[in-house]
Structure 1
Amino acid sequence: MRWTFPALLFILLSFGNHRTLAQVRDIPIEVVVGNRAVAHQMYLNKYLDSTSRFGYFGYLRYETPYENRRESTFFGQSLVFYDVAEGISLGGGGYVSNVGFLPQLIAGYSRNTGNISLMAFGTFEPVKSPNSEIFVLVTYSPPLNKSGSLRLFSQLMGSYNFNYKDNLKYNFANQYLRLGLGYKDWQFGLATDLVQERPIGLLPTNTGIFLRRLL
């Protein structure tokens, strides 16, 4: 995931039909029970109304390791955006984590093509030591029966955070992989969470099962 945002945007622009940043109306609420930790996460994309260009993206994640609950991590992100063109959005907001709150500026892009949905945005943190982050969400969910109630479910959610003052070396990189089945509003299967932090490198992988409900 060590791409620059313009390069990633170019790749997405060459693929499929245009959609705006927040086309997914469902709210996935997920629990992962892994070999190292229990994690909970959810995200939502929503416009003010069906004709508005203003929308909201929110993401929450909480993880608790079995060995030491004091090492639990929390991350919450809230972004407000405006569709400046078909498939392209600009906005701002911020996130709160164990280290406090940081504001962000955002440029995003999204599209759906059949059973594949892609969403990507780049953020810039203008305060203190400036950081940027690339966030990518790719979902592939083809139907397995005629009614479409049973589907294959596969998803990659990833982020790559880097610092401008240190030769663009990354601060951290996350990859959350899901593979399983979906039945109506439920999804379940195998989960693997990979986290890298500088200077430690790859942290212990959390592998297990996930259960997700679409609200």
Structure 2
Amino acid sequence: MVKQERAARTRRSLIQAAAEVFAEQGFVPASLGAISKRAGVSNGALHFHFANKNMLAEAVETEAAEAVRRLTEAARARQGNSLQSVVDATHDLMRSLLQDAIVRGGFELAGDMQRRTKSPLRSEWRQWVEDSLRAAQRAGVLAEGVSAAEAARVVVAATVGLEVLGGADPSWLSRQNVTRFWEMLLPRIADRRRLGTLVCAGSRPPAAPSESAPGQSQ
């Protein structure tokens, strides 16, 4: 049991370290030596758990996808299949990119064209946004003439753009930036009778001051 627990801790440390290194350097420049050093384990211990860098990257992406799944499910549990759930989930996703190295590393891998590997992260996020906006359209929350599919394309494009820009400048991921995005978009896509019920800053208060990016106020 002790050995199993130690092995599980080592594996977790390696995934965390790999996510940090991938987020900072990208997949191709990242070395297994740098990852094992960051994790505080030997190269032999790394190879015991992961035969190569691709396997490490897959483990990071799997955990990142699970984290994104949890936040979208939580947003839907709070708000149902609604436009507000999409607003909340975008805030939660940007906060995760700021605070969670695994999510950040997973999205870095998802956007790395040199890997030539299809990532579940962006496709699952896109599908969740599309499904939620279709449900909002059926409920009459979207403005007349607004297509759920087209609105989803705008939301996904904006959030992926913020994610990419946030890799170099975390201020792009701030709650303030995401709020401004929704302040501009919601009047265009939401039914005017429902607009006053929607909270651009997200329906939950910020969890902690650390949510803010450097130099940004809430």
TM-score, length-normalised on structure 2? Answer: 0.27
Q: Which has the higher helix share?
A: 2
Q: TM-score, normalised by structure 1?
A: 0.27
Tell me: higher relative CO, structure 1 or 2? Use CA pairs within 8 A at least 6 residues apart: 2
Normalized per residue, the structure richer in strand is: 1
